[in-house]
Structure 1
């Protein structure tokens, strides 16, 4: 009887097929790790064995799309479930996915960025032994040809609507791919779409699907392209985004030099230490990496909570837990997304320094070195974007305190902060609580003497909630 049920279930009576192709463009460096530890770096990118192009697995795309759909459409309605990707994770014998996602190859041989990182001890503020790593990243601007095929048996309207939702998420840059997405890597968008619909109940459409060039890769130049997937599928998207998020968009300027060490030098004659740069819009631009900013924020958050002499678990709830570094805790992903920021209108200057012998007070022999931090001007702008998923009031209060410390220059970012580098000055911040549709704006006046705050009482309630939570 069970075999009869399985035989009946696995027979898919497909009445329509929809083929979708798109051109994906990376907006930030992206880590598509291969898991191979035998390369020159700790983590090398995944490549196709034939063409040596970067390989984006269909399983990686599917996981990102499925997670986005669950959070976007069905977060707060347990009675509704998505059908696009088949059975749920809790079902041992769930239905097959309606969406076929092909592996994607980069259009060209990839250009790589090398990034390194290190774990900083929050007490000594120095690097921990054995905690340095480096990894390969695909540079921003890398393009991939995406290909999807939707198989429709029933529930046509719901399936196509869910497909439009997830592909619109890719189109708008709301879905990131690869590793370290919570630290700004893997942001992308789709700039063009092509769609073909085949009604398999019609003879001409069956022949058209059989003769379609399935083996070709990329967009077909003889067919029409669309910028909007909703227009391409002729689907009105009137559903509300149900993701509960706190989004902070803030604009800062530099009041002192900034130095985030880069793991690669541009030439043999480069200074010993240069500021981190990344490829953007065809040129190298100075950036504040999400990993550096997240580390600074976490250490200051620990200091705030320890000052209140309360449980440090609040930090783990926001910033996550790395099981490989703490065997006593369960691994947990960060709910705080810290995006990588481009710093505009800066100047690179080389500074010479020398180490001093603390015993003699003289210069150490052979310890002369030079550094190349970036310097700001009146036009310098640094846009920070933080996103906290499913925020609680006391967590919002903690983030507000962190933004305040950045705003006033009390919390420096980057290296060599002990000699005055890395201090910021806030200019404007917009704080959005999406589910409650609330927005607060903070503006620094032109004389840097006072702040203009929308409904400051609401923001104070979040900070009060932090104090009540840690007290409890």
Structure 2
């Protein structure tokens, strides 16, 4: 690639505040005694989002296509040299209890109630269920997540040779898209962010006043810079034309249970609950425990039913060697992705995006169970257990599901997926655990791009 010497006289700078619209999980790449995958934390022991993670998702979302465009924007390195990136991302640091960014080494009181919740973040337990209804081999794991509602602030700076650089507009607009996800588990309910505010300034460093302003810019994200002004993207830049949006509006018929994997003083099995960070007058506080509907649980049930409906519409019944489930099923592989095939084939990322749903404060009921001996009619030793189920008949749970349009061009795949979604709405596909004991039946309606189907 030819070397070039350009004068980047303009600086386009934005300071963005984002809020976790779902729990997020930016992993540290390590493990500890508590969880298989803890989130990355800064020097203060608080979660943050590394600038490399932000740069990676933006680079992928921009889909620059031509190598010349990508290397010009993000730089490159090869044996003949290279060029640094023209776009610079800071780490996204957490906004603390006083409404200011916790940037740099700060004195965090470990006994403070607000920061105490971040010392022990929620741990999600996962188990992969196969087509036989039992846990799959190597399918048990857990991970740490950051509370929904947590806010972060970061800056993006672009070195440009243009006064009005459209690439910077497109970069900021990516953050507003409904498909934007950050961190790990983005196909399992994590990582959705919403932009709370975006402040922007464009400076021409050949002008003395702009140069002086740029030199005086604070590097600390907790300090204000009056030069910034509010910015909003155009509707065209935010629109996601390549995706179809399905919306499930579900009402429980009675009780349901998405298990936490833990017990308490009253029961051996308890529902999954989490706290949410709420904001008022620019200050955060934690809510009471709320009912959690994990997207990973809904996704697992939906994938199995999609395989069933695809086999059914193609008349692939039991005993037919072409009747496949899991990754081997064409509809499942197309929509939900597939894992590596033991070195024989490469895995593929899912083309469906779902989000965790956190509802109202929990309302649970304790159930006692005992197993009776069929011969004597008496109880079996050690077979007494208790569980708590959530009663949510008065609550509507809304699950948004995004699927790539090109995947659904296959009529068979589209019909199998949509029939599975309808099965949930009609109560034919229960969700969660203990469905064999009457839990998890929902009714509701299915919307496609805002209209009923």
In structure 2, distance between residues paired with 1:118 and 1:89: 41
Q: Aligned residues, how many?
A: 408
What is the TM-score of this pair, normalised by structure 1?
0.78
Q: Determine the structure 2 residue equivalent to 1:97.
A: 85
**Of residues 341, 345, 349 in structure 1, which corresponds to 2:357?**
341
Q: Which residue of structure 2 aligns with residue 122 of structure 1?
A: 131
State the partner residue of 2:100.
Answer: none
Cα offsets for 1:139-187 (capped at 9, x unmatched): 1122212111111124x54xx3332233233246542111011122011
Alpha-carbon offset, residue 95 of structure 1: 5.6
Cα RMSD of the aligned pairs, angstroms, is 3.1
Shift of 1:313: 2.5
In the alignment, is the contact (CA less than 8 A) between 1:146 and 1:218 conserved in 2? Answer: no
C-alpha contact 2:372 2:378 (8 A) present in aligned 1: yes
2:256 to 254, 258, 279: 258
Q: Return closer, same or farther for 1:305/1:429 CA change in 2, 3 Å cut-off.
A: closer
Instruction: Kindly indicate whether residue 387 of structure 2 is the aligned counterpart of residue 371 of structure 1.
Output: yes
Q: Deviations over 1:31-80 (max 9, x none)?
A: 111111234211111112x322213111111121122222xxx79xx899
2:52 to 37, 42, 59: 59
The alpha-carbon distance between structure 1 residues 306 and 153, as it changes in their structure 2 partners (threshold 3 A), is same
1:354 to 357, 370, 373: 370
In the TM superposition, 1:68-467 aligns within 5 A as 68-70=61-63, 85-86=73-74, 96-108=84-96, 109=115, 110=118, 112-123=121-132, 125-154=133-162, 156-157=163-164, 160-171=165-176, 174-214=179-219, 216-218=220-222, 220=224, 222=226, 226=230, 228-230=231-233, 238-239=236-237, 241=239, 243-264=241-262, 268-280=264-276, 281=278, 282-307=287-312, 308-309=315-316, 310=322, 312-323=329-340, 327-344=343-360, 347-357=363-373, 361-377=377-393, 379-389=394-404, 390-393=406-409, 394=411, 395-426=413-444, 428-432=445-449, 440-442=451-453
Unaligned runs of 5+ in 1: 231-235, 433-438, 443-472
Could you tell me how far 1:138 is from its partner in structure 2? 0.6
Q: What is the CA–CA distance in structure 2 between the aligned matches of 1:396 and 1:34, rounded to whole Å?
A: 37
Contact 2:16 2:155 in 1 (8 A): yes
Match of 2:38 among 44, 55, 59: 44
Q: 1:203 to 1:290 in 2, by over 3 A?
A: same
* TM-aligned CA distance change 1:402 to 1:360, over 3 Å: same
**Alpha-carbon distance change, 91 to 396 in structure 1, aligned in 2, over 3 angstroms:** farther
Task: For structure 2, list consecutive stretches of 5 or more residues without a partner in the other structure.
Answer: 97-114, 279-286, 317-321
| Preserved CA contact (<8 Å) 1:100 1:149 | yes
Bigger CA drift: 86-95 or 397-406? 86-95
Higher RCO (CA 8 Å, separation ≥ 6 residues): 2
| Contact 1:342–1:383 (CA under 8 A) maintained in structure 2 | no
What do the CA deviations read for 1:321-341 (whole angstroms, capped 9, x no partner)? 122x75543111110112222
Cα displacement (A) at 1:16: 0.8
For residues 90 and 257 of structure 1, the distance between their equivalents in structure 2, rounded to whole angstroms, comes to 59
Distance 2:414 2:361 in 1: 31
Deviates more, 1:313-322 or 1:352-361: 352-361
CA shift for structure 1 position 409: 1.0
CA contact (8 A) 2:22 2:355 kept: no
What TM-score results when the alignment is normalised by the length of structure 2? 0.81
Question: Is contact 1:19-1:147 (8 Å) kept?
Answer: yes
Greater mean deviation of Cα atoms: 305-314 or 397-406: 305-314
